[in-house]
Amino acid sequence: MSTSSLTTKAITESPWAIAIGNYIQSHPVLWFSLFALMLVGSLLKLILSAVPQIDILKSKILLPLVKKYKHKKLIKSAIKSDIRGHVNKEVAKVKKFLPCGWAEDMDIDWVDTEEASTLRNDKRIIVRIRPLENQEHNFVNASYHFLHSGFFPKMQSVIPKPHYEASVLYICRKVVDGRGKTASTIFEDNFLEPSIQKFQEIPEYMDDYELMDKRGFFMGTFLRELYAIATNAKFSRARNNIPEETTKMLAHVKNFIGAYDNHLSGEKEMAPSDWWHGGSVSKYAILLVARPESTRIDPYIKRAQDRFNAGSKRLYVFGANHERKFANAVIAGIDGTINGAKLVESFETPYDYRGMPGGIGAVFEYNRSIAS
Amino acid sequence: MMNFFGNRKNSIKAVYEDDLEKYLKSVDLYDKILSKEFQCRFCHTNISLENLEVIIPRGKSIEFICNNKLCLHQA
């Protein structure tokens, strides 16, 4: 018999183990209640971490308490709930617009000790969290680093730095503004202004992002296409031209909005070339699904096919909120009808292409070798 | 990583002020910081216990960001 089996036998046959066993058997209700209580406690803990509003409520209860009773474990719990609750509440408003995986729910892993090898192998950065008196600073700091680490996954070193920085700051500003004036001021003083001092393009970029965002094209097209450019050019000589490609793509999206506005006002009809962009890496087209005169989706599918045939590698389809059903039918139609067209992602947009709140979109990739 | 409710979560690592010394000792960085062996990745100021703000693991090496406003946003 092995040593461990002997040890187990000695423990189970010891007088105190037998006594505990007998006690449990004679008090089943007590033990069941304790077990149920532990289960409910664990479930509550899970719910607390999953719902931002509950996290915020928890922090509202804990924060006044820990100001009076300086218990470190409670202080850390209050800080964590406060930051996590507020960040997740605001991130929830934008994550449905962003590419999948860029802004998931946030959690904070406290570290007080770890192996040096664990620190080196874990690629996550470590942020210093200051005492409660600096909680607004902690919130801004954590929000920024959380978004910064999630944007453009694996392409962060390839994306032009000013656009990487400006896009994180643009979204971070929305998150931080939801918290209140003090956090906004800290964000502007400690993050926005220093970034502008380093990259003078940032204010102009942020204006451009705002213009595109109000029509659903910032997160819908610009960020996704920028990521696609970086992904496709990463290991080729085209990598050197990414800044130029990005500038041209940005100009196209802005021009498209201008051309569409002119068309709406009756000033000037849109030219066929307004609907697509042909850079050296970025080749995409835009398809706006408008209110149908009939319920047929065929004209849209034909247009999508024509654009793929003309050389577009990606297609962005957009629909207004009140035309969601029809737009979804067009998206499903393209997905099911056009050989070589693969639905990469469907997403929501904060505004539709006419500037009305809410909209939907989808992006397709076209593989010519499968199509032929 | 998924949580119990099926939502994906991204976590950031954080070290609380009071745990900083203990943490740095556990990863063998405390003495090196006291002897000013590290500089801020961006402004090249010596990293100290007072100005350390972000730790960035880069495989075999470790980088630090100080609490200077101009450096903070570049981590």
What average pLDDT does the segment B15-32 reach? 95
**Residue A34, pLDDT score:** 84
**Residue A8, pLDDT score:** 65
Mutate to test the interface with A, among B10, B63, B66 (most CBs of A within 10 A): B10
Q: Do A190 and B9 touch (CB under 8 A)?
A: no
Please tell me the distance from the alpha carbon of residue A216 to that of residue A200, in angstroms, as a whole number: 25
Q: Do A112 and B23 touch (CB under 8 A)?
A: yes
Quick: pLDDT tens for A68-126: 777 888 899 999 999 999 888 888 889 899 998 898 888 899 999 999 989 988 878 89
What average pLDDT does the segment A252-281 reach? 94
What average pLDDT does the segment A322-326 reach? 91
Q: What percent of chain A has pLDDT over 90?
A: 60
Residue in chain A closest to B26 (alpha carbons) equals A113
Residue B67 — φ and ψ, nearest 5°? -90, 15
Give per-residue burial for A195-211: e unless 16+ CB within 10 Å, then b. Answer: bbebbebbeebbebbee
**CB of A217 less than 8 A from some CB of B:** no
ipTM: 0.90
Q: Do B10 and A150 touch (CB under 8 A)?
A: yes
Sign of CA dihedral A85, B50, A184, B55: negative
Count of CB contacts below 8 A, A vs B? 151
- Closest by alpha carbon to A90, among A207, A185, A186, A171? A171
Q: What's the distance, Cα to Cα, between the start and end of chain B in Å?
A: 23
- Closest by alpha carbon to A313, among A360, A246, A369? A369
Long-range contacts of B42-49 (CB under 8 A, 24+ apart): B42/B66, B42/B68, B42/B70, B42/B71, B42/B74, B43/B68, B43/B70, B43/B71, B49/B20, B49/B21, B49/B24
Give the closest-approach CA distance of B37 to chain A in angstroms. Answer: 17
Q: What is the pTM of this model?
A: 0.82
- In degrees, rounded to 5, the angle at the alpha carbon of residue A225 between the alpha carbons of residues A347 and A199 is 115
Residue in chain B closest to A45 (alpha carbons) equals B4
Pairing of strands B9-16, A126-129: parallel
Give the closest-approach CA distance of B16 to chain A in angstroms. Answer: 5
From A126, A144, A194, residue closest to B14, measured CB to CB = A126
One-letter identity of residue A342:
K
Confidence category of residue A39, pLDDT binned at 50, 70, 90: confident
Q: Do B73 and A146 touch (CB under 8 A)?
A: no
What average pLDDT does the segment B21-27 reach? 96
Q: Do B70 and A198 touch (CB under 8 A)?
A: yes
What average pLDDT does the segment B5-20 reach? 79
Please tell me the distance from the alpha carbon of residue A93 to that of residue A220, in angstroms, as a whole number: 15
Candidate from A16-25, A192-201, A313-322 with smallest mean pLDDT: A16-25
Q: Do A107 and B9 touch (CB under 8 A)?
A: yes
Confidence category of residue A203, pLDDT binned at 50, 70, 90: very high
Q: Identify the residue whose tokens are 């007080």.
A: A112
Please tell me the distance from the alpha carbon of residue A171 to that of residue A222, in angstroms, as a whole number: 14
How far is residue A354 CA from its own chain's centroid? 24
From A108, A123, A190, residue closest to B57, measured CB to CB = A123
**Residue B8, pLDDT score:** 54
Q: What's the distance, Cα to Cα, between the start and end of chain A in Å?
A: 69
Q: What percent of chain B has pLDDT over 70?
A: 84
Coil, strand or helix: which one is A286?
Answer: strand
Please tell me the distance from the alpha carbon of residue A196 to that of residue A43, in angstroms, as a whole number: 45
Quick: pLDDT tens for A114-168: 999 899 888 788 999 998 888 899 999 889 988 998 899 999 999 999 999 999 9
**CB of A72 less than 8 A from some CB of B:** yes
Quick: pLDDT tens for A204-259: 999 999 999 999 999 999 999 999 999 999 999 999 999 999 999 999 999 999 99
**Residue B42, pLDDT score:** 87
Q: Is the pLDDT of residue A46 over 70?
A: no
The mean pLDDT of chain A is 89
**Residue B3, pLDDT score:** 47
Confidence category of residue A30, pLDDT binned at 50, 70, 90: confident
Confidence category of residue B4, pLDDT binned at 50, 70, 90: very low
**Residue A358, pLDDT score:** 95
